[in-house]
Amino acid sequence: MYWSISLKNIIQGAAAVLIAAVFSGCQSADKANTEKKEHARYFDLPSYFQQEIDSLAKANPKINKTVMKDDKEETKQVHIKDWTTELSSFQSIDLNKPAYEGHIKTDTIDQVIQYSFTDPELDLSCVRIKMDPSGKPLLISIEKHVKNTLYGTTEFLVYEKDSFYLVEKNQAVRVMGDNYYKVQGEF
């Protein structure tokens, strides 16, 4: 009799601990989501570009795509098979990263929001977003700079909704020399 009561108590206690852990996990996830939403005070570029990726994948537009490597250039009319890869340079930019916190200066002039980065050690130097009168992005430009002892990279990204996108990159690698490439797609 004592053994069955103790076993029953143990099972009930284990169930109570399991239920508490499940609810605690849910509350932690809810708290993390709330903190993330509160922290997202700058324009959410990853979400915007995910919407664009989804829209473009569905529409499957024909693109005039130009690829340039150093002084060689080729242009073709294509359907992009993987918009996630095509726009990955844009989608990877997140103004709400903790590393940028406290280092962004925001200016707004004539429906253009400019985010300037005050720490030269950060990879981003400037992000500009031109909004339409209803507050939707029309054009986004991004300037990135990375410099260390092995290489220096400058990247310029532009995305104009329903018009074109551009990824332009200059890279100076110690010992290997300079590289330049450009990818431009026109809708």
pLDDT (tens digit, 9 = 90+) per residue, 84-141? 999 999 999 999 999 999 999 999 999 999 999 999 999 999 999 999 999 999 999 9
Asked if residue 115 and residue 141 are part of one domain, the reply reads yes
Asked if residue 19 and residue 106 are part of one domain, the reply reads no
Task: Look up tokens 């537009």; give the residue.
Answer: 61
Q: What is the mean pLDDT of residues 64-83?
A: 96
Asked if residue 61 and residue 25 are part of one domain, the reply reads no
Asked if residue 153 and residue 104 are part of one domain, the reply reads yes
- Closest C-alpha among 130, 151, 149 to residue 139: 130
- Residue bearing the bigger pLDDT, 128 or 30: 128
Structural domains counted in the chain? 2
- Give the structural domain span for 138: 42-186
Sign of the alpha-carbon torsion through 50, 56, 57, 58: positive
Alpha helices by DSSP H, the chain: 2-39, 45-59, 83-86, 88-91
